[in-house]
Structure 1
Amino acid sequence: MSKKTTVKTLNAISEKGLSLLTEDYQLDEQADNPEGIVLRSYNMHDMTFPSNLKAIARAGAGVNNIPLDRATEEGIVVFNTPGANANAVKELVLTSLMASSRQIFDGIMWVKTLADQGADVPKLVEQGKKQFVGKEISGKTLGVIGLGAIGARVANDAVELGMDVIGYDPFISIDMAWNLSRAVQRVLDIQEVFEKADYITMHIPLTDDTKEMFNKDTFKVMKDNVYILNFSRGELVHDDDMKQALEDGVVGKYITDFPNAKTLTMKHAIPIPHLGASSEESEENCAIMAVRQLMDYLETGNIKNSVNFPDAALPYRGHKRLTAFHKNIPNMVGQITSVLSNFNLNIADMTNRSYKEHAYTLIDLEGDINDADFMGLEDKLMTIDGMIMTRVIQ
């Protein structure tokens, strides 16, 4: 790259990630027109995308803060970092599972009310501790909904803690399936999780299908006094229905990493201030993964872990490379190669991958062509109906 590529951050990003940017990059938090953006939870929905913007890298898994449809329409690839914070979330889920089961949260709050009792504190503690008798998790049934990077880790470790684990995930990947303990019983109907589990933890994205999936109808089929852990998204739970279920004893505890005004007033709710991925190691891992993916795309056009483009990659051997993002419609590749032929360019290597209504094509080129001709090539490609974005990497 002859000119430095500008990268802008919208949140505080771990220096271990940003330090990966080479001398070919300029990190500028105030840049008006960067080629790349790295962020965590910054809300981009009201933001106008800069004209030069090619990629957004989210240092984390959730991308609800990014307008994906608009990014896709403008040919901007959006990355996330699945699995980078999985261990941090897993540890907090298991910590909360055990601490809530043993009534540790309630016990701590009660002990703090004794601060003015002086020398009587030890005696009062012994007299009052019986109200916080809890239950062990060993031998109990944990239902894990979503067996991705986090859910699979939770399930595997819960098995090691002596729990009977049932998991539900109709879209589990082959890699996750291989990593899942054979002791985890997979079920094909989520109702089975609701009916059998003493504890339920959810690790699924928020979609139209999953929004408020924990509601009065699902609570009806659950065991009385079930504990529900939500370290995914607050909107997966219908707050008013949860409040009633807690008051009725249908739900024994609701542990959520997404507190709001309603959860703070719920009986037996344990609100955690969104600490799931808040560990030093997690923030570093997410930043490193996000920056590497961003650099790989800007330098080679290769894509891994995009949420709106298909994953696609070719080994980069120094050829001039064409990338094209277009509608997934018939004869797009044929039209692209026809244009290349008119410019007397041969194809050294090529891949084409689709994702939903769109596709991404990577082509390594052979042939003599100057920069001015490349501009003409891109202009010609953009006249193809259904073409959204092209880029030449030299």
Structure 2
Amino acid sequence: MSTLTLEKVKTIKTLNSIAESGLNVFNNDHYTIDNDSENPDAIIVRSFNMHSIEFNNQLKAIARAGAGVNNIPVDKCTEQGIVVFNTPGANANAVKEIVLTSLMASSRNLFAGVSWVKTLAGEGEQISKLVEAGKKQFVGKEIKGKTLGVIGLGAIGALVANDALDLDMDVIGFDPFISVDTAWNLSRNVQRAMTIEQLFANSDYITVHVPLTEDTRGMFNEATFSIMKHDVHILNFSRGELVNEKDMAAALESGRVGKYITDFPNENVLKMKNAVPIPHLGASTNESEENCAIMAARQLKEFLEKGNIKNSVNFPNASLPYTGKRRLTVFHQNVPNMVGKITSAVSNYHLNIADMVNRSRGDYAYTIIDIDNKVNGDIIPGLEEKISQTEGVVSVRII
């Protein structure tokens, strides 16, 4: 259990190169960027592996400038009351563009064709004749009128689905957990697959945009390949572990899968017939890196200054308009009467509650309480300690 009181000057540490536009969010007297700090208030990270890092009691939040958080020990952070943010949607356009580019380029055998042409260096005036004679081996197919299956209709999947329709493709989508916001943004012309097997059976191309979980690990395997159309093209810009690589190699060899386009090359992938390995370029655009950095920084700033949470992967989203008075935030176990114990402690200090919100997420909950009284100083003496001693409380802050 930790008790954390917000300092007037907060220290931000970065573990990767973060776009300057993101760091500029902290460009005022209330923050300092110190990448050597052993006691930061918050950390911004991209792909740095944090699993071996020991966190200090000062650390309040970690923001991942990207969507995936596999490099962050989320469970450990939750136990210590550290909020973990990600930036869903900030890199969505970048990934969408590379998915559609790869969809068309692989269908036309562009990658293999370009590689072959480069082998003709030194042939001089014979190059034109050699190109005309050799181009037949790279005859491809058009995507117009073909069916694209999109698994996962979040920020990226929805963009891919909508733009594929504009390319005159038929689109089938599958996502049993689609959000209301995504549903509003998704074209009504995207056909809904009731089961993933339905999508597998009817798609000429399949692109996957889901997180890696125990349920999705190895979801592309011998059994699912057997449902698919012959010569299906599969695009994976989510996680390499979604694919059983042994089964994929066999499916490519037999022609069951025509192409496997992946942003996660490894030794196995490089040996596969008709695999198109891309060097993890999905979100690698200047615009995407800036968008992620700015979004991560703004979320950290909102939490550090106001206690509001948006896009956390381990805390519930919760926010209240900030009035500038004292604000109490408590991260605690989601058990009966916890809010009552917290509010009782507040009333015992003869403090009035102006507003409050409580949100839960699984085994944990987060409570924000605004104090109506005028309170001098940065802390209310004794209140933070009193609440922190309550069984089930993980962390407390007074802002």
TM over 0.5: yes
The runs of at least 4 consecutive aligned structure 1 residues that moved more than 3 Å come to: 368-373
CA 1:146/1:289 → structure 2, altered by over 3 Å: closer, same or farther? same
Instruction: Select which of 384, 389, 394 maps to 1:388.
Output: 394
Structure 1 residue 14 and structure 2 residue 19: aligned? Answer: yes
Q: Does the CA contact (< 8 Å) of 2:326 and 2:375 recur in 1? A: no
Q: After the TM superposition, which residues 43-54 of structure 1 pair with which residues of structure 2 at under 5 Å, given as runs? A: 43-54=49-60
CA 1:39/1:2 → structure 2, altered by over 3 Å: closer, same or farther? closer
Structure 1 residue 4 and structure 2 residue 18: aligned? Answer: no
Instruction: Select which of 381, 385, 392 maps to 1:379.
Output: 385
> What is the identity, as a one-letter code, of the residue corresponding to 2:342?
I
Structure 1 residue 143 and structure 2 residue 149: aligned? Answer: yes
- Residue 371 of structure 1, CA deviation: 5.0
CA 1:369/1:20 → structure 2, altered by over 3 Å: closer, same or farther? closer
- Hey, what does 1:112 align to over in structure 2? 118
Number of residue pairs the alignment of both structures matches: 393
CA 1:350/1:372 → structure 2, altered by over 3 Å: closer, same or farther? closer
Structure 1 residue 133 and structure 2 residue 118: aligned? Answer: no
> What is the identity, as a one-letter code, of the residue corresponding to 2:262?
T
Instruction: Select which of 296, 312, 321 maps to 1:290.
Output: 296
Once residues 2 and 292 of structure 1 are traced to their aligned partners in structure 2, the CA distance between those partners, rounded to angstroms, is 18
Structure 1 residue 365 and structure 2 residue 371: aligned? Answer: yes
- Hey, what does 1:270 align to over in structure 2? 276
Cα distance per residue 1:152-196 (max 9 Å; x no partner) = 000000000000000000000000001001110011200001100
Cα distance per residue 1:260-284 (max 9 Å; x no partner) = 1100110000000000000000000
> What is the identity, as a one-letter code, of the residue corresponding to 1:229?
L
Cα distance per residue 1:194-231 (max 9 Å; x no partner) = 10000000000000100011001100100110000000
Once residues 372 and 233 of structure 1 are traced to their aligned partners in structure 2, the CA distance between those partners, rounded to angstroms, is 45
CA 1:326/1:92 → structure 2, altered by over 3 Å: closer, same or farther? same
- Hey, what does 1:236 align to over in structure 2? 242
Once residues 373 and 198 of structure 2 are traced to their aligned partners in structure 1, the CA distance between those partners, rounded to angstroms, is 60
Cα distance per residue 1:334-392 (max 9 Å; x no partner) = 11011111110110000000111110000000225455972411111112111101100
Q: Does the CA contact (< 8 Å) of 2:325 and 2:374 recur in 1? A: no
- 1:267 is paired with a residue of what secondary structure? coil
- Hey, what does 2:262 align to over in structure 1? 256
Once residues 75 and 241 of structure 2 are traced to their aligned partners in structure 1, the CA distance between those partners, rounded to angstroms, is 20
> What is the identity, as a one-letter code, of the residue corresponding to 1:185?
Q
- Hey, what does 2:169 align to over in structure 1? 163
> What is the identity, as a one-letter code, of the residue corresponding to 1:49?
F
Cα distance per residue 1:211-260 (max 9 Å; x no partner) = 01100110010011000000000000001010010001010000000111
- Of structures 1 and 2, the one with the larger relative CO (CA 8 A, separation 6+) is 2
Using the size of structure 2 for normalisation, the TM-score is 0.97
- Hey, what does 2:322 align to over in structure 1? 316
Instruction: Select which of 317, 320, 341 maps to 1:335.
Output: 341
RMSD: 1.1
Q: After the TM superposition, which residues 21-100 of structure 1 pair with which residues of structure 2 at under 5 Å, given as runs? A: 21=26, 22-100=28-106
- Residue 50 of structure 1, CA deviation: 2.1
Unpaired runs of at least 5, structure 1: none
Once residues 319 and 147 of structure 2 are traced to their aligned partners in structure 1, the CA distance between those partners, rounded to angstroms, is 42
- Hey, what does 2:188 align to over in structure 1? 182
- Residue 4 of structure 1, CA deviation: 1.3
- Hey, what does 1:191 align to over in structure 2? 197
Using the size of structure 1 for normalisation, the TM-score is 0.98
- 1:391 is paired with a residue of what secondary structure? strand
Structure 1 residue 226 and structure 2 residue 232: aligned? Answer: yes
Once residues 284 and 2 of structure 1 are traced to their aligned partners in structure 2, the CA distance between those partners, rounded to angstroms, is 28
- Higher mean alpha-carbon deviation, 285-294 vs 374-383, is at 374-383
- 1:360 is paired with a residue of what secondary structure? strand
Once residues 153 and 29 of structure 2 are traced to their aligned partners in structure 1, the CA distance between those partners, rounded to angstroms, is 40
Cα distance per residue 1:306-346 (max 9 Å; x no partner) = 00000000000111000000011111101101111111011
> What is the identity, as a one-letter code, of the residue corresponding to 1:108?
V
